[in-house]
Each structure stands twice: as structure tokens, then as C-alpha cells.
Chain A
Amino acid sequence: MLKQHPLLRYYLGKIAAYMLTIWGAFTITFFLFRLLPVNPIESWVKALERQYAKTIAAGPEMVNFYKEQFGLNGTLLEQYVRYLYNVIIKQDLGPSFINFPTPVQDLIMQRLGWTLLLMGTSIAISWVLGLLLGLVAGWFREKRWSGVLTNVSIALSQIPAYLIALFLVLFFGYQLALFPTRGAYDAQFTVGLNLPFIMSMLWHSVLPISAIVLVTLAAWILSTRSLIITLLGEDYLHYAEAKGLRTQNIMRRYGLRNAMLPQATALALTLGAALSGQLLVEVLFVYPGLGELLSRAIQYFDFNAIMGIILLSIFSVMTASLIIDLLIPIIDPRIRTAIQSS
């Protein structure tokens, strides 16, 4: 039956690959961390002893109790099955070490908004700017400024955002003292929908967002530019010119529109990867997002928190790419025909 329905076979194949990849990536990460020669419970219990000045002696019962709490009792396979059961059936990612006993899913929800704010804004700004700049850079490729823009973009495209962030912090944060360099807002404001808080929040996000935008913008400019340059030899463009359409019109209706589909696809993939994207930028700015949480979780080998965040990141990357895979044949008839005739 599948042989007669190539489109259905394509869909089922994509969904199968989606589930297989999520499972594979999760399983590898799960065992990799649990096989590390570390004993997080021991350090946890020692920390407790220090905290309560040894008024309670940490016996084996206590160790076992916490092992059970964190799901670290039993063999690796039992832990693995139990974790999967808890996640899939009970939607429970377990308690975290670093913020005991807050469940990891609550911790993630507290942090997710900040990361989405930071990454969502950066990605939106750089996508729109990148498409427009890439369009003009490609269209007027013979102009001198276009060459300069392209070369600057090439130079910026491979530099990690955290290095840019470092320079920004130094000049705009310390030297000129224009922008704050730590946290997401000033502590004196109450969190909520009030103007001082929102202003403080925006003010704090200027430097991290600029760092991320500078680097990702360069990549968007380059990819849009080469898409446009490929278009420039097409007959319909010459025809539009011959018809006497204004350059602006041709650029918008024939150029930008054609570059839109591949760039929207790339945008979805970028959004999927946003969650774990700029961990070091968050660490540098002590920004209360998922990346900063993850980096602390790793230092304490907080397995539940680590796995929760990584799982969320794997899931969002894969879901974004699945949505694209499923939509593409519907949007683009050329691809649909190619699948059907295969």
C-alpha cells in the first residue's frame, strides 16, 4: 500500500526518523552522564552535613533516601526505564539538586521565559535585518558598499557570540557605563507588568541581544545574498525589468519572495535550536535563563536538571525540523512532485 502512496511514505518516514532521533539522542546523553565517574549524592549529603553543622549524621539510610529521591537507585537500566516512565506517563522530570526539592519542570518554566525573550528577540531582529541587508547586498553586488558589507559579514560569521559579548561588556558596560552587565532586571522593581520593571528588563537585555544579533545577522546576510545572486540570472527578472517595473518592486516581489521560503525554513530550525544556543552569553551576563541554569546544573552534576534541559532542547530542535519537513511538500509543489515521482 505504501508503494502506491509516496507522499504518505515520505510523511511516515519523517515521523519515524523524528522519533528515532529524539530517542537516540536522549539515550546517548542519559547514559553518558550516568556513566561519568562522579557521585553527586555523596557531595549532596556532605553539603547537607556542612549546612546543619553535623547535628545530623549522614547514615546510609539518608544516602539511600536521596538516591531514591533523585532516581539514582537501582541498576542503570532500571533508572533509565523509570526516568522514561516518569517523563512520558507522569510528565515529571524529577526534583533538582541545585534547587531541592523544586521539580525540574517548574525550574525550567521559571527560566524558559527569559531565554525565549533573549533568543526570540535576537533571532527576530537578525532575521528581518539579515533578509533586507542580504537582499540589497545581493542585488547591488557590484557596488563597493555591497562588497564591504559582505566581507564584514564573512569576518563576523564565525566569531562566537561570547567573544563579541566580552568586548561589548568591556566598552559599553564598564568603560562607558552605559548598560548594565549582570542579570535581567534591577532587583528594586517588582516583577510584573509595570513600566519601571519593563524598562529595566529592556535595558538589561541590550548588550546580550546585541552580541547575539551581530553574529547571527552576518550569517543571515550571507545566506540571503547568495540566494538572491542565484536568482539574478532568471528570465522572469529580465521580463519584469523589460515590463518597466520599478527596481524596488522587482526586488520585493520577485527577489525577496523567492528567498523567503528557504529562509523561513532556516528560521524555524534556528528557533528550534535557540534553547541551548547561547549558553555562554547567558553565563557571562548572569542572565537567569536556561543556559545559565544548565551550566550550574552541570557543575553539581544535577542529573535531573541536566537531562530535563537537554531533553527539552533536543525535542524543540527536532520538532521544528519535523514541522518544516511536513510543511514543505504542501507549500512547494516542486518538492511534492519530486516525492510523488520517486
Chain B
Amino acid sequence: MRFLTNTWKSSGKFRFGVIVLAILIFIAFIAPLIYRPIIGDVSPARPGVFPRWLPASAKNPLGTDGHGRDILTDFLAGLQTTLFIGFLAGFLATSVGVIVGFISGYKGGKLDTALITFTNILLVIPAYPILVGLTLVVPSKSMLTVALIVALFSWPFAARTIRAQVMSMKEQPYVELAKVTGQGDLKIIFTEILPNLLPYVLISFAFATVGAMVAEVGIALIGLGASDAISLGMMINYASGWGAFTRGLYLLLLLPPAILVLIFLALTMINRGMEEYLNPRLQNVTGQ
């Protein structure tokens, strides 16, 4: 916790990222309050609720799209889905990564060799083709399945980061001291290592979330998103399907990628802020 407040105080990047992300999450939370009065009690992904291509009006503030959906609702629900899938997949990937990386780094020996070899093997496999293959065959593409599939190949990065940190922390004098004084493995893990590892877990989480969102957009772009929802990536796919490039539907074409860029930017700034706080050399400090 002190790590977060200190980073907040010292890093403008971190503050910028947190504020932007907080605003986006807040919008995603109150989104139903805005779109429920417009579309009533149906799924935002449901086509044909309104006639197609209605101009903007009091009822549909941004008009309707080529599937007869309210465009404002598209954006709000798309933001919800993208954030939900990203954070869920990021959380899953980080959890697996932390557990694997921790065991690998703390136990060492043969187990470590086996785990790190497996991690390295997964890192070499080009993930995107496999994600697409899996998404093509799963019978029901709910948001949860998409998040699971995306998480499948994002945990090895987190595992590698955590392993490296655990290995260097194991050598620290305070851990040695705890060992000499006869504390058990579990006590050392929970009182000496985990608290110091937390910043790196957070960094891995932010990275994994960005990675998961990039992967989700990649899948959605070619028309393979979750079938029960609408995401920002899917909106880009729809827009190009409606010939938005040639018809000049700029709102539909530009806003989804712009919001995505904003999300990536916020997460990157949060990450960079934390990294710079932990490793001042990334900023302007020189020396060995």
C-alpha cells in the first residue's frame, strides 16, 4: 500500500494513468444507467432493436448502426466488455504466472528447470494463430470463454518476471536472517517475500491486462469476438464491414480505436510510473 501512495506522490505518469483509467471504469460502471432507458431490458448486443442507420435524435443521441443498434449503447457496452475481458484475463494470467513463477524461483533445482523450460516453450509458440483456432471451435463464445482463451497464453510473461524477482529476493540478507533464525518456509514467504513482491505482481497484472486486451481486439477484429456481447474490437470489425472507410462513418471507425488507445495509454503510464519508482535509473538518475 505504501508503495502505491509513494508512487502516486512521486510520479505524474502514474497519476495520469490512474485518473484516466478510473474515469473509464466509472463510465463502464454507470453505463447501464445510461443505456437501459434507451434500449430497454435487452442485451446491448441484440441486433434489430431499432431501424438501421437512424440519424441522431433525442431517443438515439448518436443514431443507430447497421445492425439496428443504438450507437451510444454500442460504445458504452463495448467499453464494459473490453475492460471486463481485459481485467479478468489479466487477473487469471497473473494468478497462474505468480504461482508458477513463485514455485519455480523459490524452490529452484529440478522443478525450476522443468517449469522454466515449459514456460520458455510456451513463449516461443506464436499465440495468435492458436487463439484464433480455439475461438473458432468453442461452441459458446461467452465473455468468460474469451477471457479464458486469451489468458491461456499470457501467463508465461508474468511467470518469468516473478521468478526473476523471487530468485533475487531469496538471496537478500533479510531472508537469510529469517532462515538462520529458524523460521519456516511459509512464514518467510508470507512475511518476508510476498510483501516485497507485490509491486512486481501489480506490474505483471497491468502488463497482462494490456496483453489480454490486445489479444481480444485481435480476435474481435477478424469477427470472432464473444457472441453474447459487443466489444470495442468488434465495433471496428462491424464498422469496416459496413464500408465505414468509404462511406466516411468516422465516429464508428475512429472512436473505438481511440478509446482502446486511451485504455492502453493509461495502463502503460501506470506501469511506467511503478517501474520508474522501483528503478529510478529508468528516469534520469545516472550511475552504476
Contact = CB atoms under 8 A, between A and B. Distances in A.
B221 A154 contact: no
Given A154-B272, A230-B286, A170 B222 contact: no
A170 B287 CA distance: 45
B124 A21 contact: yes
A295 B131 CA distance: 11
A309 B126 CA distance: 10
Given A36-B134, A154-B272, A167-B257, A226 B126 contact: no
Interface string B135-156: 0110000000000000000000
Interface stretch (B58-66, B73-81, B263-271): B263-271
B180 to A, nearest CB: 26
A21 B288 contact: no
A25 B286 contact: no
**Binding site secondary structure of chain A:** helix
A276 B126 contact: yes
B259 to A, nearest CB: 11
A37 interface: yes
A317 B124 contact: yes
B49 interface: no
A268 interface: no
B284 interface: yes
Interface string A260-283: 000000000000000010011001
Contacts, number: 125
B218 interface: yes
A230 B286 CA distance: 6
A166 B257 contact: yes
Contact of B129 (A28, A157, A170, A306): A306
Given A154-B272, A160-B218, A298-B132, A25 B124 contact: yes
A24 B122 CA distance: 9
A159 B236 CA distance: 16
Given A38-B137, A154-B268, A158-B210, A295 B132 contact: yes
**Binding site secondary structure of chain B:** helix
Interface in A111-169: 141-142, 151, 154-155, 157-160, 162-163, 166-167, 169
Contacts of A157: 268
How many B residues are at the interface, by size bracket? 35 or more
B284 A142 contact: yes
Interface string B112-134: 00000110111011101110111
A314 B286 contact: no
Given A17-B117, A25-B121, A29-B125, A298 B133 contact: yes
B129 A166 contact: no
Contacts of A229: 281-282, 284-286
A310 interface: yes
A140 B3 CA distance: 30
A184 interface: no
B253 A170 contact: yes
B281 A230 contact: yes
Contact of B133 (A25, A33, A167, A226): A33
Contacts of B118: 24
B124 A318 contact: yes
A174 B129 contact: no
List the 9 shortest-distance A-B pairs measured between CB atoms, nearest first: A233-B287, A24-B121, A232-B286, A276-B126, A158-B268, A233-B286, A25-B124, A25-B125, A141-B284
